[in-house]
Amino acid sequence: MKELLIITIGAALVNNVVLNQFLGLCPFLGVSKKSETAAGMSGAVIFVMTIASAFTSIIYKYILVKTSLEYMQTIVFILVIAALVQVVELFLKKFSPSLYESLGVYLPLITTNCAVLGVALINAQKDYGILTSIVSGLATAIGFTLAILIMAGIRERIEFNDIPESVQGSPIVLITAGLMAIAFAGFAGLV
């Protein structure tokens, strides 16, 4: 239990996938303009990353390792993630068309979101068991959610501030992301 708590805190705060490992920056920067779309993307990433961690762990341990096909892990993991994203896409298209439209191109990009693939590869590299992989995937997704929701809240407030023209748009977003990464570095002593 103690190990799972350490993995949870480490994945969500200390080694935040976006602000420490710099994975998943495309949806982090692209979808964080509004809190609603950031929350929708977060839900999709939590689902895909957690389920993908479970499936990839099972496939890696019981198929790839047993058949000495570990070198195929990246291709297999991408296929699993792509299938899960298709399920999410079909679900959102059917039950929440407005969220589906607002996520736009970023929803299919979860397939190539290096954060989702990264957590699956890290779980395999660290030889995590199935439960540990699920906890790691969920905690990493929660860390992604924290980062994108905080960024969305800040970006909504930035719209109403008087910002010099030279840093409006992408520069102020990148400065904000850098400051957030510094803030999250303060969690380094927790684990």
Dump pLDDT digits (tens) for 9-23: 999 999 999 999 999
pTM of the complete model:
0.88
Tens digits of residue pLDDT in 33-92: 999 889 988 988 898 899 999 999 999 999 999 999 999 999 999 999 999 888 888 988
- Amino acid residing at 151: M
Our separate counts of H helices and E strands in the chain read: 8, 0
pLDDT at 52: 93
Closest alpha carbon to 173 in 8, 16, 32, 21: 32
Q: How far apart, in whole angstroms, are the C-alpha atoms of residue 191 and residue 188? A: 7
pLDDT at 159: 85
Structure tokens at 160: 């109403």
pLDDT reading at 113 higher than 80: no
Q: How far apart, in whole angstroms, are the C-alpha atoms of residue 172 and residue 38? A: 18
Burial of 66 (0-12, 13-18, 19+ CB in 10 A): exposed
Q: How far apart, in whole angstroms, are the C-alpha atoms of residue 147 and residue 45? A: 12
Q: How far apart, in whole angstroms, are the C-alpha atoms of residue 25 and residue 105? A: 14
